[in-house]
Structure formats: structure tokens, C-alpha cells
Structure 1
Amino acid sequence: MAGQWTGVVIPVHDVNPARRVPWVTYALIAVNFAVFLRTPGMAGSLVGEGGLAQACRLESFLGQWAAVPRELIHGRLPELVPTGQVAVGPSGPGCLVGPPGYDKSPPLSALTAMFLHGSWLHLLGNMMFLWVFGDNVEDRLGRVRYLLFYGLCGYAATYGFALVDAGSATPLIGASGAVAGVLGAYLVLYPGARVWVLVPFLILLPLRLPAWTVLGLWFVLQAVYSYGAGVSQAGSVAYLAHVVGFVVGMLCAWPLRRGTVPPPEPGGPLWGRRARPGPARPRWSRPIW
């Protein structure tokens, strides 16, 4: 969703080896980067490139491809949309508006919006979480079901937010809702997996924490930020969409938790004690859903 991830830790690696190469996760990350680099003005945003003409092109691009709650719920396009051109009026230059020159499908825009991001920070935050946690969820579900699951969580997050703010004309963009679903599934399937995180405390302090701590804390923060704050007061981050995606991911993964082989316990000190070695992961186990 529009905005960036909010939390107190930065996950960088989990101690939870997958049995097969997560090609779908890699492909999703690659497509997100490719679309971002093709989005008007995004490639140069890191070095401050921009201007009114570029902003107008971006506004027109998002109007066509982003998900807009008012369009999703009511199923119709506005009469006037940004055209991508600059207009000079009595109050100064601005973006020209006119009748839409495209035929937009609101339900399809919920899919295309999952691959759009508003900044490098927004993109990198989403892709880091997907990189760390997506491989094991893909491994457990299987590639085709994982791809369908990813899309389902993204759609649920987008429409869940749109239902609450049905009159909003602010575009919703980002993979956050779908990635939140991956996090919810990971929490259900591998709550005891150890995750290396960086904690900002004067310096970036590396710690190894259980997944239930990392993801549970993240979810609580999203729920707190979404309650009563609203997107307009929360830095344009659709926290409610994160919450919806996370819950849908948990519900989808819940039937699989019994047949999931727990990750091996890492060796070495863990919270001041020695970790006990866990059972080896059988190579013959296959996803059951």
C-alpha cells in the first residue's frame, strides 16, 4: 500500500532453510523492481530528480494503474483525470486534467497496484520482507498455490481498505498487503524459526529473535497505527491494508500448521542459553496444499 513499512526491527535473514529454490519469490521481486524502474520519475527519485512535468506524468500513470478505493467500490471512473501534461492557469502552473483517455478496469487495478511503489524506501522495505520470509512459505505451499495465495492476500488487503474508506480518491499502491499475507502465513507455519534482525539502538544492533516475536510485534504496531489514526494522519501508509493482508495470510495457512516440519534449532547461545538441536527436515516431505 502507499507508504512504507513501519516497525522497530529490520529482518535480514531467517534460520530456516528451504528445500527448493523459491523461483516465484525471486520472480515477484524482479517484476517489482522492473516496474518501479519503468514508473515515471521513480528511478531518479533517490538522487532528487524531479519537476512539475515529471510529477504530472506520475500522477497520470498512477491514475491509470493504481487502485482507487472510490473506483473499486463504485465501479466507475471519474469524469476528469490527470492527463500527464502541464497547464498554466491564473494561479500558476499545474497538472492538466481532462476526460480519461483509457479504459480502466477497477478490479484489475487492484492487481497492477501490487507492483507499483512510491519510493525506493517503499520498494526496498517490501522486497526485504518478501526476500526473508517468502521462500519458506513458497516451499510449504508449492509454487502455483503460493502465487495464487500472494494475489489473494493482495486483493483482500486492497478491497478491505477500500471498503472502510470507500469515498477516497487517493491511489493505493504497493505490495505491502500481499507481503503482509506472507508474513501472516510464516507466523502460523514457523513461529519458532529464528530471525536475524537489526535493531536501531545508537547503532544497528544484530539480534536473533523468534519469528513470533518479530512478526507479532510488527502486526501489533500495524494494528495500533491503523486504529483511530487513519491513513490521512499516518504518513499516507495504509496500515489497515497491512492488517487485513496479515490476517488473511494467517487464515489461509492455519490448516497447514500440523503438517509443517519445524525448522532446525540453531546452535550457539540463544538468549543466554544453549539451543537444543531440533529434528532434521525430511527431504521427502511435500506441500499438502
Structure 2
Amino acid sequence: MLFPLRDVIPSRTTPVVTWVLVGSNVLLHLWLWLGPGSADTRDAIFATWGVIPAAFSWVTAVTSMFLHADLLHLGSNMVCLWIFGDNVEDQMGHGRFLAFYLLCGIVAALAETWAIPESLLPMVGASGAIAGVMGAYFVMFPGSRVLVLLFLVVYVGVIEVPAVFFLAFWFLMQVLGGLARTSEVAATGGGAFWAHAAGFIAGAIGARLLRRKDRAEWEWREPGRPV
């Protein structure tokens, strides 16, 4: 298992949108879980504002991106958004990045609806949108590296790997997870693998279309690497 900790590329601009997205997700999650509401209240909010494939709504395709099932779900998503979002936002500009983020999330919701069209379980989380950010990073920064926490049966450590390796490995795991998921498992919840894969592909395509040309001319290079 690989868990990302940080990348090696400094952002040249202040990633305002990334910060706002992370902050809004964290604050809403704290309100839902530490506020006066009960578990039944949270379930009702998820059912109302999460994506239900059997009753798809364009509104919930957006609102679901700001709801998370638990702290681990929130934390893993926000870490990835924090690591990869600032550089993608830097390359697109603030407005384009926000539109891109939301669009990737909508594409992800549509993909999961296609995969399990009869499901009545609400789907929540920003994973699809963040998968889009990761797909864009894959295209924009092929020479970058990522510091990851490596979990093996007999070893736990921190290593640095090429970003394209980490992101390609992550994408492959989503595709394999989607192929392995049975209809019975899908009916009881679990990872939204096809949402993640679709978001990643949408992000890779969007990176080509939305990257600002004046910023695309700047290419990050590893220190010491010849020009």
C-alpha cells in the first residue's frame, strides 16, 4: 500500500481554491460529526445530498463532493487534494481550476451511476473530483516525484517515487477494483472504483484543454537535472 505525503514541486501562486475546498470540506465534516445532530440526522443529510444512482440529480452530483462518510475518508481525500491541487491550480488559474474540479466530480458521479444504476445507497465524497486533479497532475508534471508512506507485510517506511508511477499504480488499482466488484458488493457499499477511474480520465483530458498556455511553457525540473 502506498500513501502520499507530499510532492517536490513548489507552487508559484497562492492556491486559494485548493485551500477553500480543503477548509470547507473539513469544517462541514466537523459540523456534521461534532455538532448537535445525531447519527440519524447525518444519515438523512447523506440521503438528501449524496448521489443516489437510482435517482440521479445534477444538484447532488455537486453537493455530494462536500460530504464524507468518516474521518479516514475525509483525511485521505484532503491529503491528496492538498498535495496535488496547488500545482494543478497554478497551471490552470483559480477560476478554471474550480470549474475543472466540479466537472470531474460530476463525471465521476455519472460513471458510478452507470456502473450501479439500481443502487439506492447514497454516494458521498470528493474522491472523484480529486481523482480528476490527480489525472491532471499526471499529465502536467510527468517528471515530478512523490514522497509516499509504504506499507508492506514486514516493512513500513517512507520512500520517494516518480509521480507517474504512483498515479498510474493508483489508477490501475481503481480499474481492477471496479472489475472485481460484484453487484452484491456494490449494493452494500464499498469503494466507488469506477467513479475514481472516470474522474482520473476526465482530469487527464481536462489538463490538456484547460492548462493556461502562458504557464504551460514553464516546466519543473528536478534539481540537478540538465536542461
Q: In structure 2, what is the equivalent of residue 11 of structure 1?
A: 4
Distance of aligned partners of 1:231 and 1:192 in 2 relative to their CA distance in 1, 3 Å threshold:
farther
Q: How does the TM-score come out when normalised to structure 1? A: 0.71
Q: In structure 1, what is the equivalent of residue 160 of structure 2?
A: 208
> 1:261 aligned to 2:218?
yes
- 1:40-189 equivalences under 5 Å are 42-43=33-34, 54-72=38-56, 106-189=57-140
Give me the whole-angstrom Cα distance separating, in 2, the residues matched to 1:141 and 1:231: 38
SS of 2:61's equivalent in the other structure is helix
Unpaired runs of 5+ residues, structure 2, are none
**Greater helix proportion:** 2
> 1:246 aligned to 2:203?
no
Distance of aligned partners of 1:198 and 1:216 in 2 relative to their CA distance in 1, 3 Å threshold:
same
Give me the whole-angstrom Cα distance separating, in 2, the residues matched to 1:260 and 1:38: 42
Give me the whole-angstrom Cα distance separating, in 2, the residues matched to 1:179 and 1:130: 6
Give me the whole-angstrom Cα distance separating, in 2, the residues matched to 1:147 and 1:204: 36
Segment of structure 1 superposing worse, 229-238 or 198-207: 229-238
**Greater strand proportion:** 1
Q: In structure 2, what is the equivalent of residue 77 of structure 1?
A: none
1:110 Cα offset (Å):
1.0
Q: In structure 2, what is the equivalent of residue 38 of structure 1?
A: 31
Partner amino acid, structure 1, of 2:193: Y
SS of 1:13's equivalent in the other structure is strand
**Aligned match of 1:192 in 137, 143, 148?**
143
Does the CA-based 8 Å contact 1:29-1:127 persist in structure 2?
Answer: yes
Segment of structure 1 superposing worse, 59-68 or 147-156: 59-68
Partner amino acid, structure 2, of 1:119: D
Q: How does the TM-score come out when normalised to structure 2? A: 0.90
Segment of structure 1 superposing worse, 196-205 or 26-35: 196-205
Does the CA-based 8 Å contact 1:188-1:257 persist in structure 2?
Answer: no
SS of 2:137's equivalent in the other structure is helix
Partner amino acid, structure 1, of 2:59: L
Give me the whole-angstrom Cα distance separating, in 1, the residues matched to 2:103 and 2:111: 12
Give me the whole-angstrom Cα distance separating, in 2, the residues matched to 1:189 and 1:117: 28
Q: Residue deviations 1:66-95, cap 9 Å, x none?
A: 1111111xxxxxxxxxxxxxxxxxxxxxxx
4+ long deviations beyond 6 Å:
none
Does the CA-based 8 Å contact 1:263-1:278 persist in structure 2?
Answer: no
**Aligned match of 1:237 in 170, 182, 191?**
191
Give me the whole-angstrom Cα distance separating, in 2, the residues matched to 1:55 and 1:17: 41
**Identity of paired residues, percent?**
37
RMSD between aligned alpha carbons?
Answer: 2.0
Q: Which has the larger radius of gyration?
A: 1
1:257 Cα offset (Å):
9.8
